[in-house]
Amino acid sequence: MASFGAVNYKFFLCLLLWLWNFLPLSQGNQHWHENRYPFIRNASSFSSPSISTTTSNNAYDYIIVGGGTAGCPLAATLSQNFSVLVLERGGVPFTNPNVSFLENFHITLADISPTSASQYFISTDGVYNSRARVLGGGSSINAGFYTRANPRFIKKVGWDAKLVNESYPWVEKQIVHRPKFSPYQRAFRDSLLDSGVSPFNGFTYDHLYGTKVGGTIFDRFGRRHTAAELLASGNHDKLTVLVCATVQKIVFDRKGKRPKAVGVIFQDEHGKQHEAILSNDKHSEVIMSSGAIGTPQLLMLSGIGPKAELQKLSIPVVLDNHFVGKGMVDNPMNTMFVPSNRPVNQSLIETVGITKMGVYIEASSGFSQSNDSIHCHHGIMSAEIGQLSTIPPKERSPEAVQEFIKNKKDIPVELFKGGFILSKVANPWSVGELRLNNTNVNDNPVVTFNYFSHPYDLHRCVKGIRLAIKVVQSKHFTNYTLCDKKTTEELLNLTVKANVNFIPKHPNDTASIAQFCKDTVITIWHYHGGCHVGKVVSPDYKVLGVDRLRVVDGSTFDESPGTNPQATVMMMGRYMGLKILRHRLGKLAGI
């Protein structure tokens, strides 16, 4: 009886944990997030005032365009003292299981429907990518890895190190966890050390040369905690978050010497337009936090950008600034397939090798454990939109994409039993740009990253792939996977054939590592730039040449901080919120 009672107790405890973990995310428990976030509403609930009838009751001290990785912590912080309106074009992450569970990570990226949390775009390079369309931004669709920036980055951008070190923990205490550390990641860690990526720095958020285990925004149950949860720490009485609110443009008062932002026009989920107005105070601001794609795009749609480009689309020019959209950079990534003769559990990024040669080495595993998983549409991770970089632009036809689909269906399940080693080039020197495609904010702009256009990036990619090969050939991996040690050409050939980003085979892609880099380049979603400091914004991120308009997001970066940027982008939201409050209120800010 005692044994039976113990079993029942364990079963009951597991059931409670399951209910706690899963039920809040079900559609049937909608009130869960409504009770915790009563300030989140659909955009159609907004009552638009006219400028002539604006009062202190229907105007806002701050309007934040984009409830993403930076926008959420920024809003939570500013709302401590001032009225804040957040306008997010996507929905909430809380009731979307594809967003909220680690096991569905690839399904989120696979969803390319108009209402998906992940909006795919293809750069002119032929590489498919993703931008977030959901409250929480990139933290709602990424691989979850959390690691701080290199102190050199903090010094380079001119941030107050003391305030930075107060802002990171504010994020970490609320949504960051220690990973479970899977057997695959353990084999990867030991292989990195065996390959000379040392010392082992253990579990740490800090950016240190060698091998380390970082944080994750997935808890021990595999549930994602996004930047949207940081909103809970805001002042509920002063914070309004509208979802499905797509900002069309920023509204300016142009009667004075300099254009002045006075509000924004946005569209709700039913297509109705609304106008949100700033309070009549010189400190009130519209703050752009729409990311490296959305922010420069919306600035140009609002009339701030290269005059000639704006005039081609009949956009009234508010400010001629040819730097808007320039300096776009994406960190190129290449993968190395690791076959396995044993079942591999799913893991996202937990361990990273930080090298002094300018590449970061990471690992993931277990995304194809069923026939359905392998042969379904995987969005940017699938053959359907294979990178096409070896096909001339004019030949990238729907027929070519359909050929990829056909090829993928013929790939045997066994080829996908294993994982991947990822090699990312840090701080690439290859630079591109962003231009408007049309005047529809819902459509992606035209983006070019010019991967490997600078020879130094290709040189480092070759070094990274050689290191990845060394890691895969390590005894720690062969002992774990129960596979024989494979030659370099065999590994490259396996990767070309079995990589989920299925790409046409180039005659030299297994003979030349440089050609392999070019043929198998993909993204790791760390694109940045378009609104650089000194060119589009000032050191305190105010848009140059206009008043009451600021940018707080990764579009201001000229490099991606740390190995993975989300920690620093969230910290930036908190940091800039504190800076703005302290500048405006001094000691009265109270924080």
Omega into 539 within 30° of 0, i.e. cis?
no
Q: Residues 6 or more apart from 421 whose CB is under 8 A from it?
A: 188, 335, 336, 338, 361, 362, 363, 468, 471, 472
pLDDT tens, residue by residue, 290-345 = 999 999 999 999 999 999 999 999 999 999 999 999 999 999 999 888 888 888 88
Whole-number pLDDT of residue 402: 59
pLDDT tens, residue by residue, 89-131 = 999 999 888 898 888 887 787 777 888 999 988 888 888 889 9
Least confident of 285-289, 502-506, 586-590: 502-506
**Is 507 within a domain?**
yes
Q: Are 371 and 413 in contact (CB under 8 A)?
A: yes
Helices 455-472/488-498 angle, 10° precision:
100
Q: Are 398 and 493 in contact (CB under 8 A)?
A: no
d(C-alpha 146, C-alpha 216), whole Å: 5
Whether residues 507 and 404 share a domain: the answer is yes
Long-range contacts from 305-312, C-beta under 8 angstroms, 24+ separation: 305/436, 309/435, 309/436
pLDDT (average), residues 217-235: 96
pLDDT tens, residue by residue, 74-88 = 999 999 999 999 999
The answer on pLDDT for 353 being more than 70 is yes
Find the CATH number of the domain harbouring 311: 3.50.50.60
d(C-alpha 202, C-alpha 281), whole Å: 49
Q: What is the residue type of 558?
A: D
Portion of the chain with pLDDT greater than 90, in percent: 66
d(C-alpha 15, C-alpha 289), whole Å: 40
The answer on pLDDT for 384 being more than 50 is no
Whether residues 540 and 410 share a domain: the answer is no
**Is 356 within a domain?**
yes
Residue ranges at the known binding site for FAD: 88-89, 134, 247, 525-526, 554, 565-566
Whether residues 553 and 579 share a domain: the answer is yes
The pTM is what? 0.88
d(C-alpha 496, C-alpha 133), whole Å: 31
Q: What is the residue type of 373?
A: S
The answer on pLDDT for 413 being more than 60 is no
Angle at 464 between CA 463 and CA 465, to 5 degrees: 95
Structure tokens at 160: 């107050």
d(C-alpha 67, C-alpha 227), whole Å: 9
**Is 108 within a domain?**
yes
**Is 357 within a domain?**
yes
Boundary residue ending a domain (469, 495, 521): 521
The answer on pLDDT for 385 being more than 70 is no
Please give the residue range of the domain that contains residue 280.
56-121+127-143+243-327+529-584
Whole-number pLDDT of residue 7: 42
pLDDT (average), residues 125-139: 92
Q: Are 266 and 246 in contact (CB under 8 A)?
A: yes
d(C-alpha 407, C-alpha 505), whole Å: 12
pLDDT (average), residues 218-230: 96
Boundary residue ending a domain (521, 542, 571): 521
Whole-number pLDDT of residue 487: 87
pLDDT (average), residues 53-73: 86
The alpha-helical segments, DSSP class H, found in 39-150 are 71-78, 97-100, 105-110
pLDDT (average), residues 22-42: 63
d(C-alpha 262, C-alpha 278), whole Å: 5
Residue ranges at the known binding site: 88-89, 134, 247, 525-526, 554, 565-566
Mean pLDDT score of the chain: 86
Whole-number pLDDT of residue 31: 52
The answer on pLDDT for 377 being more than 70 is no
pLDDT (average), residues 218-226: 95
Backbone angles phi, psi at 120, to 5 degrees: -80, 155
Whether residues 345 and 309 share a domain: the answer is no
Whole-number pLDDT of residue 23: 37
Whether residues 300 and 345 share a domain: the answer is no
The answer on pLDDT for 569 being more than 90 is yes
Whether residues 286 and 345 share a domain: the answer is no
d(C-alpha 28, C-alpha 98), whole Å: 16
Residue 29 CA from chain centroid, whole number: 28
pLDDT (average), residues 505-523: 78
Whether residues 395 and 321 share a domain: the answer is no
Whether residues 344 and 455 share a domain: the answer is yes
Whether residues 487 and 372 share a domain: the answer is yes
Whole-number pLDDT of residue 367: 62
Whether residues 517 and 411 share a domain: the answer is yes
Whole-number pLDDT of residue 369: 43
The answer on pLDDT for 414 being more than 80 is no
Boundary residue ending a domain (479, 503, 521): 521
Domain count, the chain: 2
Name the CA radius of gyration of the chain, rounded. Answer: 24
Q: Tell me the pLDDT band of 400, cut-offs 50, 70 and 90.
A: low
The answer on pLDDT for 364 being more than 80 is yes
Whole-number pLDDT of residue 98: 84
526 is catalytic: yes
Q: Which of 526, 528, 532, 583 is catalytic?
A: 526
Portion of the chain with pLDDT greater than 70, in percent: 81
**Is 9 within a domain?**
no
- For the chain, counts of helices (H) and of strands (E): 17, 26
